[in-house]
Amino acid sequence: EGIVLGRSRQADIQVLEEHVSRVHARLAFRKGYLEVKDLGSSNGTLILVPYQHLSSGERGPLSRSSRLRLGRHGPDLDISYK
């Protein structure tokens, strides 16, 4: 459940960047907040605001206005929700 980000055509949001894994991360609501989970990516997932580095399989909460980086060099995604 949730929204999958990655290079794969099967991803809900396809991100065509070389540092993004085919199935990179998942966004999902959990207990009233949005979280991101790294799905075993090669280059990791970073929550930039507030800063948190997620390794393979790790989850992290997103604030109502967050910046997310897929891989070491991006792309950066601005995530906002109500």
pLDDT of residue 1: 86
In this prediction the pTM is 0.91
Q: pLDDT of 70-79, one tens digit each?
A: 998 999 999 9
Q: Coil, helix or strand for 62?
A: strand
Q: pLDDT of 46-79, one tens digit each?
A: 999 889 999 999 999 999 999 999 998 999 999 9
Q: pLDDT of 9-43, one tens digit each?
A: 999 999 999 999 999 999 999 988 999 999 999 99
Cβ distance 54 to 43 under 8 Å? no
Cβ distance 44 to 51 under 8 Å? no
